[in-house]
Structure 1
Amino acid sequence: MAATCYQPPRKTVLWAFMLGLCSLLLVNFSVWHKEQLWRNGEPIILALAPKDPRSLMQGDYMALDYVVARELRQALQHDGNWQPNLQGWLLLTLQPQGPALYRGYRFSNADTDMTGQQRLLPFKVRNNRVLIASNAWFFEEGQAAHFDAARYGEFRLANDGELLLVGLLDENLQPL
């Protein structure tokens, strides 16, 4: 007596194929979108805030914090707006050379009373921390000493406010 193999119904195979194809399309679109932001986004530089050196390097990533995030936290607390679950817009002024400067915050990006060099970046408050874009930089194992010289984060800003960390810079604004 010959053993027979289970043959799933054709409909099941077709649905599995379609779901797999849709998943691949979504992933590829996301990658394409990030590449477009990397190439065409507006450059923004943010100064990194000092961290406790005992916890700065943990394995193959560097925990990041930003000077403007700390300034925002202080302003929110001073104004009585600090909440554990909050989001809004950080107002920055771009400089021709050097990091962007903190100018304030808003809870809506509909305001239009900004100068030509001011930009709004989205922020969130989660777990008692102000989060702006990425809070970590991942690198190849054994490269911690190389990235220890990081003083600035280089970002690309999309028109809709999406922010992408594209690199770290040293004290002379040179890529690491």
Structure 2
Amino acid sequence: MVTIHYQPRQKTALWALALGLCSLLLVNLSVWHKEGVWRDGEPVMLALAPKDPRSLMQGDYMALDYVVARELRQALQHDGHWQPNLQGWMLVTLQAQGAAVYRGYRFTNTDIDMTGQQRLLPFKVRNGRVRIASNAWFFEEGQASHFNAARYGEFRLAHDGELLLVGLRDENLQPL
């Protein structure tokens, strides 16, 4: 007769190790993807309509709102499409140095006839606000005066439509 010794602690430890390694792999793949968007994505500048609240829990940050987001909200409301939970694509035209100008919206990104400088940016409506990528820029404590000069959010647009905030720029589109 063969006796099998069940060792639940070893089995649990192996599962924990495997899950930990899978978690690290997923996090690293996400970082690798974001670095690729940062490095290879197309530059897009969105004019800011900034606010500057403070958060004791999170440190200093600038809440960001975009001129194109306000224009999109007005268009959605005017057309009767405004809903609290909505997503789609905003059509913009890229001007000099990648500055984007609002041109319209779509609810799908297929069968759209675009010119050479037009791009589709993803948007979502959540909690009564149009969200385009990031809505906050965090900075080191005491640097608020430096970022008060921000007039544009600098983004990178990936081929799949992902939009990544990578910096802030002044009125002359110079990096801060």
Same-fold status (TM-score > 0.5): yes
What is the CA-CA distance between 1:50 and the residue it aligns to?
Answer: 4.4
Equivalent residues in 2 for 1:76-91, closer than 5 Å: 76-91=76-91
Root-mean-square deviation (CA), in Å?
1.3
Moved over 4 A (4+): none
Cα deviations across residues 117-173 of structure 1 (Å, max 9, x unaligned)? 100011001111000000000111111111010000000001111000000001111
Any idea what SS the aligned residue of 2:97 has? coil
Question: Would you say the 8 A contact 1:94–1:101 is kept in 2?
Answer: yes
Amino acid at match of 2:96: P
Number of residue equivalences = 166
Amino acid at match of 2:53: M
Percent identity between the two aligned chains: 82
In the other structure, the counterpart of 1:170 is: 170
In the other structure, the counterpart of 2:53 is: 57
In the other structure, the counterpart of 1:48 is: 48
Supply the distance in 2 between the matched residues of 1:50 and 1:137 (Cα, whole angstroms): 10
Question: Would you say the 8 A contact 2:44–2:98 is kept in 1?
Answer: no
Amino acid at match of 1:167: G
Question: Would you say the 8 A contact 1:57–1:144 is kept in 2?
Answer: no
Supply the distance in 1 between the matched residues of 2:169 and 2:54 (Cα, whole angstroms): 19
Instruction: Give the TM-score normalised by structure 1.
Output: 0.91
In the other structure, the counterpart of 2:140 is: 140
Which residues of structure 2 form unaligned runs of 5+? 1-6
Any idea what SS the aligned residue of 1:119 has? strand
Supply the distance in 2 between the matched residues of 1:85 and 1:62 (Cα, whole angstroms): 25
Whether 1:111 aligns to 2:111 is yes
In the other structure, the counterpart of 1:3 is: none
Whether 1:20 aligns to 2:20 is yes
What is the CA-CA distance between 1:99 and the residue it aligns to?
Answer: 1.8
Supply the distance in 2 between the matched residues of 1:109 and 1:88 (Cα, whole angstroms): 8
Instruction: Give the TM-score normalised by structure 2.
Output: 0.91
Supply the distance in 2 between the matched residues of 1:23 and 1:50 (Cα, whole angstroms): 36
Which residues of structure 1 form unaligned runs of 5+? 1-6
Supply the distance in 2 between the matched residues of 1:23 and 1:98 (Cα, whole angstroms): 36
In the other structure, the counterpart of 2:74 is: 74
What is the CA-CA distance between 1:75 and the residue it aligns to?
Answer: 0.4
Whether 1:120 aligns to 2:117 is no
What is the CA-CA distance between 1:112 and the residue it aligns to?
Answer: 2.7
